[in-house]
Amino acid sequence: EPEVTQTPSHQVTQMGQEVILRCVPISNHLYFYWYRQILGQKVEFLVSFYNNEISEKSEIFDDQFSVERPDGSNFTLKIRSTKLEDSAMYFCASSSTPNTEAFFGQGTRLTVV
Amino acid sequence: DAKTTQPPSMDCAEGRAANLPCNHSTISGNEYVYWYRQIHSQGPQYIIHGLKNNETNEMASLIITEDRKSSTLILPHATLRDTAVYYCIDRRSGTASKLTFGTGTRLQVTL
């Protein structure tokens, strides 16, 4: 069964460092998303991406965040200068059309120290 | 913020049907009802979605009332592996529409 894969599963970084979280969406999907979940809190939407453009972003997705689809298979989330409060599980998701279900990866646990 | 309301927790005996309710008091005509679940801190798992008709797949059934103000997710024969947090979400149709998660219902399936 096709699935969304995310790497790494866990990343520890020092405050102020840049991190790139990587995702390989399901191969024929065209719509991509990033969400995050701070420990014990709700899953929060960050950004959606289609046709090499951001479709929608939340207030959380400020200038420190960026997304890119550098090739035909990867979808990345970059955090330029990490803060302690960026520590969370980050989930990538993809869907084939805007009105079909989005499938989530297993997440990357980011720990900022 | 999430627009749906769900009970914070429910229990269900293994092998019995689990019926999880959701209120969609402000759902609009172009919004679908989606159900996801999250087991521990794993990625949310899609279960089922519908617009106004009842739906069934291999995982569950979805019952939507005629006025669409409430829905019920039915797991027909709950197992211990169905223990999870279940989320109902109103999702707008259109371009790359986001999912807005609430706090969900924590379903505990017991022996």
- Position A58 pLDDT exceeds 90: yes
Q: Taking every pair of C-alpha atoms in chain A, what is the biggest distance, in angstroms?
A: 39
Mean pLDDT of the region A45-62? 95
- Position A1 pLDDT exceeds 80: no
- Position B2 pLDDT exceeds 80: no
* CB-CB neighbors (< 8 A) of B42 in chain A: 106-107
Q: Model confidence over B64-96: pLDDT tens digits?
A: 999 999 999 999 999 999 999 999 999 988 767
Cα distance between residue A5 and residue A23, in whole Å? 6
- Residue B53 makes CB contacts below 8 A (sequence gap 6+) with B64
Show the tokens assigned to B31.
């919004």
Q: Model confidence over A60-77: pLDDT tens digits?
A: 999 999 999 988 789 999
Nearest CA distance, B61 vs chain A (angstrom): 16
Hey, of A57, A60, A99, A103, which one would you mutate to test binding to chain B, going by the most B CBs within 10 A of its CB? Answer: A99
* CB-CB neighbors (< 8 A) of B46 in chain A: 101-104
CB-based contact B93 A44, cutoff 8 Å: no
Q: Model confidence over A3-46: pLDDT tens digits?
A: 999 999 999 999 999 999 999 999 999 999 999 999 999 999 99
pLDDT (0 to 100) of residue B94: 76
Radius of gyration of chain B (CA): 13
Q: How confident is the model at residue B97 (pLDDT cuts 50, 70, 90)?
A: confident
Show the tokens assigned to A57.
């972003």
**Chain A, nearest residue to B97 by Cα:** A98
Q: Does an H or E element contain A47, and which?
A: strand A43-50
Cα distance between residue B88 and residue B96, in whole Å? 18
CB-based contact B96 A44, cutoff 8 Å: no
Q: Model confidence over B28-54: pLDDT tens digits?
A: 988 999 999 999 989 999 999 999 989
**In b/e form, how buried is each residue of A49-85, taking b as 16+ CB within 10 angstroms?**
bbeeeebbbbebbeeebebebeeeeebebebeebeee
